[in-house]
C-alpha cells in the first residue's frame, strides 16, 4: 500500500521539529513508542520511492538522539540507503552531516554502517545510475520462452456459459 505521498512526506519528514520521528520519540509510553516505530519502519520499507528524503531526515534526527531505539532505527535507515542507493540521488552534504559524526560513534555497529554508507556516496565513487531501460535492455533472456512482443494482442477467450 502506498501510505506516503509526496506532500505527506514533506509534511512529516521536513528536517525540523516537530515531525513524525520527534513526535514518536517524545512519547513516554515505551510500548506505544516501540509499536509506532515498528509500523513506521514497516510502511517505509514497502514504499521505496520516498526513501532518499526520508532516510536522510531520519538519520539526521537520529544522529542527535540518545534514545534506546537509536541503534535499531539508525541501522534500519542506513540499511535502506545501502540497499536502494542506486535508485537514490541524495543530497551529499546532508548525508555527510549525518554520517560523519556517526562514523565516529563508540557503537561499533553504527560506526561500521555509517562508514559503509559514506563510501557509497563519496564523490567519484557513486555507482553509475541504472535506468529502467538499461535493465530491460541488458536483462538476459530466459532460454525457456521466447519474448512475447509487446504489440501481440491477447487472444479472445471463448466465453464460458
Mean pLDDT along residues 142-155? 54
pLDDT over 90, % of the chain: 0
Give dist(CA 78, CA 84) in Å, integer.
Answer: 10
How far are the Cα atoms of 150, 153, 154, 160 from residue 157, in angstroms, in the given order?
19, 12, 9, 9
With CA atoms as reference, report the closest residue to 74 among 88, 84, 60, 86: 60
Whole-number pLDDT of residue 39: 75
Is residue 1 pLDDT above 50, yes or no?
A: no
**What's this model's pTM, rounded to 2 decimal places?**
0.37
Q: Cβ distance 111 to 117 under 8 Å?
A: no
**Domain chopping of the chain, boundaries:** 6-125
Amino acid at each position: 500500500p502506498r501510505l506516503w505521498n509526496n506532500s505527506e512526506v514533506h509534511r512529516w519528514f521536513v528536517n525540523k521539529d516537530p515531525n513524525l520521528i520527534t513526535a514518536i520519540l517524545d512519547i513516554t509510553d515505551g510500548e506505544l513508542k516501540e509499536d509506532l516505530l515498528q509500523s513506521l519502519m514497516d510502511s517505509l520499507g514497502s514504499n521505496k520511492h520516498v526513501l532518499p528524503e526520508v532516510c536522510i531526515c531520519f538519520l539526521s534526527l537520529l544522529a542527535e538522539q540518545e534514545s534506546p531505539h537509536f541503534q535499531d532505527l539508525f541501522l534500519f535507515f542506513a540499511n535502506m540507503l545501502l540497499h536502494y542507493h542506486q535508485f537514490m540521488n541524495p543530497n551529499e552534504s546532508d548525508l555527510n552531516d549525518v554520517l560523519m559524526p556517526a562514523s565516529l560513534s563508540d557503537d561499533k555497529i553504527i560506526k561500521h554502517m555509517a562508514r559503509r554508507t559514506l563510501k557509497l556516496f563519496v564523490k567519484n565513487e557513486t555507482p553509475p545510475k541504472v535506468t529502467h531501460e538499461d535493465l530491460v535492455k541488458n536483462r538476459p533472456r530466459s532460454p525457456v520462452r521466447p519474448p512475447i512482443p509487446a504489440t501481440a494482442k491477447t487472444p479472445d477467450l471463448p466465453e464460458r456459459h
